Structure 1
Amino acid sequence: MSGKFGKGCHLHLIDGSAFIFRAYHALPPLTRKSDGLPIGAVAGFCNMLQRYVEGNAGGDVTHVAVIFDKGSHTFRNEMFDQYKANREAMPEDLRPQIPLTRTATEAFNIACKEKEGFEADDIIATLAVQARAAGGRCTIISSDKDLMQLVGDGVEMLDAMKNRSIDRDGVFEKFGVFPDRVVDVQALAGDSVDNVPGAPGIGIKTAALLINEFGDLDTLLARASEIKQPKRRQTLIDHADQIRLSRDLVQLDENTPLDFTLDDLEVREPDPDRLLGFLAEMEFRTLSKRIAEALHVEAPVIEDKTPAPADIPEMEAVPFDPDAYEHVRDAAGLQVWIDRIRERGWVAVDTETTGLDEMVAELVGISLCVDAGQACYIPLIHKDSGTDDLFGSDALAEGQMPLEQCLEMLTPVLEDPAVLKIGQNMKYDAKIFARLGITVAPIDDTMLLSYAMHAGLHNHGMDALSERYLGHTPIPIKPLLGSGKSAITFDRVPLDKAVAYAAEDADITLRLWQTLKPQLHRVGVTTVYETLERPLVPVLAAMERSGIKVDRDTLSRMSNAFAQKMAGLEDEIYQLAGRKFNVGSPAQVGEVLFEDMGLEGGKKGTNGKYSTGADILEDLATIHDFPRRILDWRQLSKLKSTYTDALQDHINPDTGRVHTSYSIAGASTGRLASTDPNLQNIPIRSEEGRRIREAFVAEQGKTLVALDYSQIELRILAHIADIPELKQAFADGIDIHALTASEMFNVSLDDMTPDIRRQAKAINFGVIYGISGFGLARNLRIPRAEAQGFIDRYFERFPGIRTYMDDTKAFAKEHGFVQTLFGRKIHTPEIASKGPRAGFAARAAINAPIQGTAADVIRRAMIRMPAAIADIPATMLLQVHDELLFEVENGSEDALIDAARDVMENAADPVVKLDVKLTVDAGKGANWAEAH
């Protein structure tokens, strides 16, 4: 089409900055192989442009432009010098990519526009108004709320990320007013992101109410004296000029002087040579092939200047096609796959089972993949679904291999050191195979590849990784299994659906491996993955399969004792309250606290009930006995329900032991998380909590041995922050917690009690991790002023700690991550945010290098442990943060303690030479409490 823009024309305006930042934050760091130039945002931007072009091919779009911001200084800064003043500086690795996104837009032959002194939004507003006046339509591709003032009369918005149109009703849903009054609402509410002041204390909802009541902003300000609420009335009267300034700041300039016209924005076909030349220059192999195919031309040959690690091939842009997956029915079919695996040298493996508990789940089928898009599923024990039997038939469905035959053929491959087995959360599959007598090795794990690179940025489950890095949403499991009472297990899923679902998992896993593995060395975490993540998998799998014996009778007795103690506490609570009520009801506790007793601080939630969370009760516990008793009762109730009652259900009927499962990628710092059951959260600060460990016992003829790092995080702090006083204290063998207690509580070391020392421990660790006087007061149940005094005195004694904290926060803000001494990167994406989240992010950033280094140390110890104790009749059972628990034959306890202590105390060597020696305390006994 050519000619003048007018009726029947449709203009698309793309918010270029939104595309760039979306691309930058959605993708991992990526550099050009030839010279290390950052190109991750450019790659994402090009992919988004290509998807836009493909999605609108053959549509009614006649004109299109990508609109960019030219610079940070605009006419609004002349009105108000603080406009956008609190925005963070652009990330260093994004800065060189900005001009490349302009070049990319031009390479796609799409108009690329910007203007000095004006924002992209002003250009978009001017073009949208011009298109409307000419009788055409305009679609603004953005979700920016500032652009919503333009919607209506032929102008709409499209949120490309959610594929959702925003019309007048959509604007009303967002602002509570229609587009013509959006500016008035924004003028009142202000904008913290852009530093638009607005009216203090008035948000979007209140602003909309006021504008709807008075009609428009000018009328509202003229009649502000009529507003009934005194505070709101005074705010509008006092800040009228500031509100009018805010309106000028948010009002888009619809008359931006442009040196081009709508006619210059006509849709143009891309020039293949120019576009593919740019993509080749950027070294985008996959995208070049995809676009060359779409343009029906030959893809350029892009020389690979640095070989990818392990000769992993560049992932082809193969579409996901569930119909293409193979259903392996017999030995002949499986042999073809085994031959392909041996030829390749790797295979993505996934298992389907009857449940999530690896200790009892049955193997239902195995899926394999050696090339993207080419995967198979080998069903083994699927039941025949062609029956009307209410409980389902136990007869096997046709078209399956006998389990024994399949395993006999696959075992040599799964155990072959020359074939790499690739999995997503490979520990699960390895345990399933281990129960069948198969030791799967060597392995790669896509979950751990992502974790090593992206800890703190997002979770590492397969569905999330697939959507983020492959742009593909996997087939969901819920529609296959159902939910509630009608849910089925995977062995009852029909074979055709099972093949599509299971084979896709292996296909996704292989593609994730091809995508993520080459990134390891570019991000600089190869050593982390190879020495701290991957080798831990078989160690944890063996520990989890071993489990630990739990005495059911002991748990029952404790449960009864807790119930009696709870009843005694209830009597005390009733006396304090002056009446009986349901102690387990938060609503009734709230009524007693804030109505009967009249304590201050009561806040009602949306349900009209008082909130009585732990934080509120802990504050009140500093001044009153009643909330203290409620907290004690709740702790006992939790111990009873979570441990003494629930642990009995976790005892495996075949082994008589409890088998926890460790999550390697659960915490961004490298700490392991324990689930089903969680054995790491058993409270040891209270006597009752410590007693829970009495139920964990050794088998007949054996002893439990616990080895625990002594104050490892404080020792690491002394090294990392270079605190001479702490280093000397540790060198002299002084108990740091006791020393702190002596200074803080004016108690001599000889008169120290465990409870006083525990309070000092809370101060030591609380201060290190950025706790406030408010938080410490809660922890210790002391007045806030007294807690703040402790913190002030602490920093006076150890000024180097304050320096470490400030330096760490500054590093995190500049780089977006912090590091452990072993190179683990913990990303801190919220470090630049505002409000409460900023404080939390700062505390996490201070904590992470210390806690993460401690986690790395014990990981290194665990990885070395099996070889170190191979000749001792002992088994490593549990890891609880800084502690390892073993079961050893009677008579070999000392040999185990010597060997394990040597490994643990020297675990940092030779990579890190700590200035402070690590020391390990050891204990032994018939149960865990005795050993600890």
Structure 2
Amino acid sequence: MSFGKGCHLHLVDGSAFIFRAYHALPPLTRKSDGLPIGAVAGFCNMLFKFIEDNAGPDAPTHVAVIFDYSGKSFRNDMYPLYKANRPPAPEDLVPQFPLTRDATRAFNIACIEKEGFEADDIIATLAKRANDAGARVTILSSDKDLMQLVGGGIEMLDPMKNKRIGVEGVEEKFGVGPDRVVDVQALAGDSVDNVPGAPGIGIKTAALLINEFGDLETLLERAGEIKQPKRRQTLLDNAEQIRLSRELVKLDEDMEMDLPFEELELKEPDPETLLQFLAEMEFRTLTNRVAKKFEVDPPEIKIVEPEADASGPEMPDINPESYEWVKDATTLTAWIDRIIGRGYVAFDTETTGLDEMRAELVGISLAVEPGEACYIPLIHKTSQTDDLFGSDDLADGQMPLDEVLALLKPVLEDPAILKIGQNMKYDAKILARYGVDIAPIDDTMLMSYAQNAGLHNHGMDTLSDRYLGHTPISIKSLLGSGKSAITFDRVPVEDAVKYAAEDADITLRLWHYLKPRLHSAKVTRVYERLERPLVPVLAQMEMAGIKVDRDVLSRMSNAFAQKMSGFEAELYEIAGKDFNVQSPAQVGEILFDQMGLEGGKRTKSGQWSTPADVLADLATEHDFAARVLDYRQLQKLKSTYTDALQDHIHPETGRVHTSYSIAGANTGRLASTDPNLQNIPVRSEEGRRIREAFVAPEGTKLISLDYSQIELRILAHVANIDALKQAFRDGQDIHAMTASEMFDVPMEEMTPDIRRQAKAINFGVIYGISGFGLARNLRIPRSEAQGFIDRYFERFPGIRQYMEDTVAFAKEHKRVETLFGRQIHTPEIDAKGPHAGFAKRAAINAPIQGTAADIIRRAMIRMPDAIAKLPAKMLLQVHDELIFEVEDGAVDEVIEVVRDVMEGAAEPAVKLDLPLTVDAGIGMNWAEAH
């Protein structure tokens, strides 16, 4: 048959098949030589299934498997950072790439790849040529980038879901037809491929804009007409970046390819060739299946035992329709028996909100095998609204909460059964409020964090997309957004089962993928010693909270308001007129039009812009700019802390319960949120006063223990700076010493302000701050700031050598490490332009800050056992400081115990050249204690 009308071409996204196979199956090696073959096994099973499934009138007449060519593509010439965030392929997958090509040829299927091009470009070119010739084309892939090809005889088939994707499916995904997918992607960008797009614009907004203006170029030409100021400015400022993004996401449909379509004709495999390949791979099960299909004797495979069934346990597709709704004790008991038999379970909770101290438990999901998961609904309502017309009646098919907890509590607390979760701290706190202490645990979020810090975030959706090739059901699709959003107890149970059980299923699959890779990534110790054991410690701290005096905050808010009024009056006097201090444009008019100062910049609309960095530069020259900065800083203190903290006081406990993110910062530092108690400003008197509102209950004191200059001590150790080591050994105050040398001030005449400036120099210089940045921080001329930096390097020459060595290591290995083995990846270390300086500073910073973070983590993990018999509670961690609430009579003893733990936290893993020292303070409030 001549190729053309009546033909049906199947184009298989081979690279997607490989990664799907790799992530779906547990690690597998060939018994004879230890060669990794898990991905090859899964890939061969997919090809065999493809052959068996494609029969009948709709079967393909032609087929090709398309692969990505290793190395860079033409897109990297356009944009060097294209796909820069992607980690290298796992070590055990690399030798399997050529074997999958061999497998394709063994199945007698055309195998295509081309240097300098991606598989998607080859697919686009072949699809277009075949379609132009009159053939039907089916692309076997779920890759969203290929959706721009759909239509006019070209469709997609997601082989994992057996779901066909036509024009309607594309419109459902992108909100536009296939001909405008590229425009939407250009605006939305792609974090996985590092396509920049337009900052802050997602798929939905991009689709709205394209539908309104017709196409991308028209939108960019008429961007000034957009009513929303932020959106308008984003498009105006990033037009060229958006056009570049369009070129990056647009597939090349006109590649030069000399490939007769006759070579793609579907043929049956040659049994002898295929069976020989399968036998060489030692795939006993698949070898027997293929031999049976072709009615020939299977070749002998000389291994003692069959492999761990290369065709199974095949990781089934993620199918929300297959999950079980648990409605009664009999069904739940059967699940519990399976959990006990297995020895582990993936576990997740669904609740009415994100605040673990207030949210209600709505349901629980469990998974014991990939594809086998259930959901136990508890308090779902019959109505989807909670307004006057909604109902609080419980929906049918739910078990009583007390009965479910009574059945599950022994399992969840059983030390012989591992509970696996994603961000288990949240679930642990929820269950603790219901009397269940879940342990022991494994956390897939923290496994990813230990392996991939600096490469991507560690949320479940990201991990599922990246490592399982599956986009989970969106929570927004169930709850909605904005004012019309509902809580999870209002979600119909049928929908909740699919969503919640899928979460448990995905978590279990991620655990199967991530757990064995801890060893190969050499971060098992980091996960087991620094990440996992911190979960219960933080959960306990967060639930304890810290008492906050609402009256103190209210008085501070009033005082701040009065002081802001005073600043306003002072500014009016300097300006010679009244104006709106909160208007950047009006402030700019006074600075740049009226006063004639230099350095001003206008927005696209022609108004003056007065961001903090501009004001900081001008503050060194004029009191007006300095006073505007003071006003804004006071305004921020009032709105962010003294006003907002009052809303965070728990109505039952009278305390503020912050939440710590273990995997938030790449360096291992904890991040405090809702509210953020780590960024309360302490440089100003007003900022320090906010800590007065954090108080000790009657009969107790707050004690603060703070590492003294820990990062400088670590720097002296890792950079081997003798002068700095000697200064510490002599007991000198390093910041005061620096101040004395930099500012030529005798030690006995040192003031707190001068010492604070020296502290800024110490920490700024070791993290690569420029003279420009230091001048801004200290509000001094740039030449003076640069002089400080130059003299600093002369005083401690080893610091510059450390900085150069660290950057060189980062460039070679694309990561840096702490003294405890924590890896912080540096994918942008070779970036050019404005990112270059930031990437280098981050690389220099990470080993020092990360080591300090590891040390305080080690101290926190040891602390519960150390103070278990003492009347004390650990409440807060703020960078290098720990805050405790202690009964009056035990203060001295607790300080002694805590200090011993903190000062010995690095050992025995690391022996520092300098001892760690810890300062202690006591008070009725945090300000007094620190």
Correspondence 1:305-454 to 2 at 5 A: 316-385=314-383, 390-454=388-452
Corresponding position of 2:483 = 485
* Residue matched to 1:264: 263
Letter of the aligned partner of 1:498 in structure 2? A
Alpha-carbon separation, structure 1, partners of 2:763 and 2:905: 23
Paired AA for residue 595 in structure 2 = M
Aligned to 1:892, the other structure's residue is in SS state helix
Q: Which residue of 1 aligns with 2:833?
A: 835
Q: Which one of 500, 515, 520 corresponds to residue 518 of structure 2? A: 520
What amino acid sits opposite 1:264 in the alignment? E
Q: 1:262 to 1:857 in 2, by over 3 A?
A: same
Q: Which AA in structure 1 matches 2:777?
A: N
Task: Indicate which of 901, 904, 907 corresponds to 1:903.
Answer: 901
Instruction: Give the stretch that moved more between structures: 165-174 or 898-907.
Output: 165-174
Which AA in structure 1 matches 2:529?
T
Q: 1:120 to 1:369 in 2, by over 3 A?
A: closer
Query: Structure 2 vs 1, CA of residues 801 and 350 (structure 1 numbering), >3 Å: closer, same or farther?
Result: same
Quote the Cα distance in structure 1 between the aligned partners of 2:686 and 2:304: 63
Q: Secondary structure at the match of 1:891?
A: helix
Pair 170,684 (structure 1): closer, same or farther in 2 beyond 3 Å: closer
Match of 1:813 in 2: 811
**In structure 2, what residue type is equivalent to 1:472?**
H
Aligned to 1:467: 465
Which residue number in structure 2 is paired with residue 861 of structure 1? 859
Are the counterparts in 2 of residues 549 and 656 from structure 1 also a CA contact under 8 Å?
Answer: yes
Shift of 1:594: 3.0
Please say if residues 450 and 527 of structure 2, whose CA atoms lie closer than 8 Å, have aligned partners that are also in contact. yes
- Distance of aligned partners of 1:86 and 1:172 in 2 relative to their CA distance in 1, 3 Å threshold: closer
Change (3 A) 1:588 1:730: same
**What corresponds to 1:612 in structure 2?**
610
Q: Which moved more, 1:918-927 or 1:454-463?
A: 454-463
Residue 376 of structure 1 deviates from its aligned partner by: 2.0
The separation in 1 between residues aligned to 2:482 and 2:178, in whole angstroms, is 39
Q: 1:704–1:885: 8 Å Cα contact kept in structure 2? A: yes
Q: Per the alignment, in what secondary structure is the counterpart of residue 608 of structure 2?
A: coil
User: Which position in structure 1 is the counterpart of 2:590?
Assistant: 592
Structure 2 gap ranges (5+): 159-164, 188-215, 222-251
2:732 maps to: 734
1:97-246 map, 5 Å: 99=98, 102-103=101-102, 106-107=105-106, 109-112=108-111
Contact 1:107 / 1:278 at 8 angstroms: preserved in 2? yes
3-state SS, counterpart of residue 714 of structure 1: helix
Once the two structures are TM-superposed, the CA of residue 51 in structure 1 deviates from its matched residue by 11
Change beyond 3 A, Cα 1:167–1:410: closer
CA–CA separation in structure 1 for the residues paired with 2:838 and 2:342: 47
Structure 2 Cα separation of the partners of residues 306 and 802 of structure 1: 59
Q: Which residue is 1:551 aligned to?
A: 549
TM superposition score normalised by structure 2:
0.78
Distance 1:123 1:320 in 2: 28
Is the partner of 1:434 in helix, strand or coil? helix
Structure 1 residues 517 and 586: alpha-carbon distance in aligned structure 2, compared to 1, 3 A threshold = same
In 1, the alpha carbon distance for the partners of 2:537 and 2:866 equals 13
Q: 1:382 deviation in Å? A: 2.5
Q: Could you give the per-residue CA deviations for residues 90-137 of structure 1, whole angstroms, max 9, x where no partner exists?
A: 979698677556545545644456799999999999999998998989
Cα separation, 2, equivalents of 1:277 and 1:647 = 70
Question: For structure 1, which segment, 774-783 or 562-571, has the greater mean C-alpha deviation from structure 2 after superposition?
Answer: 774-783
Structure 1 residue 261 displacement after superposition: 4.7
Structure 1 contact 703–893 (Cα < 8 Å) conserved: yes
Cα deviations by residue, 1:283-314 (Å, 9 ceiling, x for unpaired): 99999999999999999999999999xxxx98
TM-score of the superposed pair, with normalisation by structure 1: 0.78
- Secondary structure at 2:497's aligned position in 1? helix
1:653 aligns with 2:651: yes
- Once the two structures are TM-superposed, the CA of residue 449 in structure 1 deviates from its matched residue by 1.3
User: Is the Cα–Cα contact under 8 Å of residues 698 and 887 in structure 1 kept in the other structure?
Assistant: yes
How far off its partner does 1:152 sit? 15
| Deviation of the 1:828 alpha carbon | 1.5
Matched-pair contact (CA < 8 Å) for 1:290–1:317: no
Tell me the CA shift for residue 908 of structure 1.
0.7
The Cα offsets for residues 560-604 of structure 1, whole Å up to 9 and x where unpaired, read as 111111111112222233322211122322333333333333333
Q: CA deviation at 1:761?
A: 1.4
Partner residue of 1:502 out of 497, 500, 503: 500
Are the equivalent residues in 2 in contact too, given 1:873–1:888 (CA < 8 A)? yes
Q: Secondary structure at the match of 2:442?
A: strand
- Separation in structure 2 between the aligned mates of residue 842 and residue 632 of structure 1, nearest angstrom: 32
Alpha-carbon deviations, 1:770-808, whole Å to 9, x = none?
Answer: 222222221122222222222222222222222222222
| Counterpart code for 1:875 | K
Q: Is the 8 A contact 2:9 2:60 kept in 1?
A: no
Tell me the alpha carbon deviations over residues 857-905 of structure 1, each in whole angstroms, 9 at most, x when there is no partner: 0000000001111121111000001000000000211111110010001
Deviation at 1:278, TM superposition (A): 6.3
1:317-345 per-residue CA deviation (whole Å, 9 max, x = no partner) reads 22233333222223222222222221111
Kindly indicate whether the alpha-carbon contact (under 8 Å) linking 1:13 and 1:67 is maintained by their aligned counterparts in 2: no
Name the structure 2 match of 1:244: none
2:575 to 574, 577, 598: 577
Structure 1 residues 318 and 173 mapped into 2: Cα distance closer, same or farther (>3 Å)?
Answer: closer
Contact 2:451/2:523, CA 8 A, preserved across alignment: yes
Deviations 1:396-442 (A, max 9, x none): 33332222222222211111111111111111111111112221111
Q: Quote how far apart the aligned CAs of 1:24 are.
A: 14
Do 1:737 and 1:760's aligned partners in 2 also have CA atoms closer than 8 Å? Answer: yes
Query: What CA distance in whole angstroms lies between the structure 2 residues aligned with 1:596 and 1:299?
Result: 91
| Residues 25 and 39 in structure 2, CA contact (< 8 A), matched pair in contact too | no
Letter in 2 for 1:576: I
- Secondary structure of the 2:922 match is strand
Q: Bigger CA drift: 735-744 or 668-677?
A: 735-744
Distance change in 2, residues 1:10/1:800 (3 Å): farther
Cα distance change, pair 283–567 in 1 and its aligned pair in 2 (3 A): farther
Structure 1: gaps of 5 or more residues: 75-79, 177-203, 210-250
Question: What do residues 810-842 of structure 1 show as CA deviations (whole Å, max 9, x unaligned)?
Answer: 222222221111111111122222222232222
Within the candidate set 800, 821, 826, 2:824 is matched to: 826
How far 1:456 moved relative to its partner?
1.4
Structure 2 CA distance, aligned partners of 1:389 and 1:487? Answer: 12
Residue pair 2:22, 2:42 contacting (<8 A) in 1 also: no
User: How many Å apart are 1:695 and its aligned residue?
Assistant: 0.6
Alpha-carbon distance change, 474 to 127 in structure 1, aligned in 2, over 3 angstroms:
closer
Instruction: State the match for 1:634 in structure 2.
Output: 632
Contact 2:379–2:398, Cα closer than 8 Å, also in 1: yes
Q: Is the 8 A contact 1:812 1:845 kept in 2?
A: yes
* Cα distance change on mapping 1:450 and 1:278 into 2, 3 Å: farther
Provide closer, same or farther for how the CA distance between residues 660 and 330 of structure 1 changes in structure 2, counting only shifts above 3 A: same
Q: Return the alpha-carbon distance in structure 2 between the equivalents of residues 115 and 385 of structure 1.
A: 56
Q: Does 1:852 align with 2:850?
A: yes
Residue 783 (structure 1) aligns with: 781
The CA RMSD measured in Å over matched residues stands at: 5.1
Segment drifting more, 347-356 vs 869-878: 347-356
Give the corresponding residue for 2:231.
Answer: none
Letter in 1 for 2:641: Y
Distance 1:431 1:292 in 2: 55
Q: Percent identity?
A: 68
Figure out how many residues of one structure are paired with residues of the other and give that number: 847
Contact 1:481–1:489 (Cα < 8 Å) also in 2: yes
Structure 1 position 50, deviation (Å): 10
